[in-house]
């Protein structure tokens, strides 16, 4: 296995360790309610994950999935009392970066990324919350191979519809 494959294997091993509290994640396909992953709903949109693909050296669907799984390990094993910002950053460092073999840099603000709608909903897991729909361009930078690489995701109502 490559170093990145080994990192993904170890993350899955950590998530499924039966000697620790169970980590349960709902997987959806093409949900406008979830943009990539929802920390508080413990849900991942697999269409968003797969939209990233594996065609770039510095970012991949596997890295994105590792990020979401790591967030859930931290949140759920922390008794659902987690700090999203802290867990999100930890998931970048110990999930996404290790599986991608790159270093995700701070996100680049994008004025086109905006809230386009929101509504209250009772979710299938019984939780009540607000769905916020975002559209626009999101830009991320990764350090890989001595270079800074940028990826831009085109988002339409919480769905990744383009990758540049």
The length of the chain is 164
Across 86-93, average pLDDT: 97
Backbone φ and ψ for 151, nearest 5 degrees, come out as -125, 140
| Three-class secondary structure of residue 161 per DSSP | strand
For the beta carbon of residue 134, count every other beta carbon within 10 angstroms: 18
CB 60 within 8 A of CB 104: no
Give the tens place of pLDDT for each residue, 152-162. 999 999 999 99
Would the pLDDT of 127 be above 90? no
pTM (2 decimals)? 0.93
**Which of 54, 39, 40 lies closest to 89 in space, CA to CA?**
39
| Three-class secondary structure of residue 95 per DSSP | helix
Give the tens place of pLDDT for each residue, 11-29. 999 999 999 999 999 999 9
Q: Which residue ranges make up each domain of the chain?
A: 3-163
């Amino acid at each position: 296995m490559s170093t990145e494959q080994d990192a993904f294997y170890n993350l899955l091993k950590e998530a499924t360790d039966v000697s620790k509290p169970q980590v349960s994640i709902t997987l959806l396909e093409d949900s406008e309610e979830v943009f990539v992953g929802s920390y508080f709903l413990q849900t991942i949109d697999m269409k968003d994950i797969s939209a990233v693909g594996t065609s770039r050296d510095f970012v991949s669907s596997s890295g994105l999935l590792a990020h979401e799984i790591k967030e859930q390990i931290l949140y759920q094993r922390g008794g659902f009392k987690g700090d999203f910002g802290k867990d999100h950053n930890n998931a970048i460092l110990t999930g996404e970066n290790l599986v991608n073999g790159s270093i995700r840099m701070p996100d680049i603000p994008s004025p086109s990324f905006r809230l386009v709608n929101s509504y209250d909903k009772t979710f299938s897991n019984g939780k009540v919350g607000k769905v916020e729909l975002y559209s626009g361009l999101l830009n991320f930078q990764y350090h890989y191979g001595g270079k800074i690489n940028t990826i831009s995701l085109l988002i339409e109502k919480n769905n990744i519809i383009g990758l540049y």
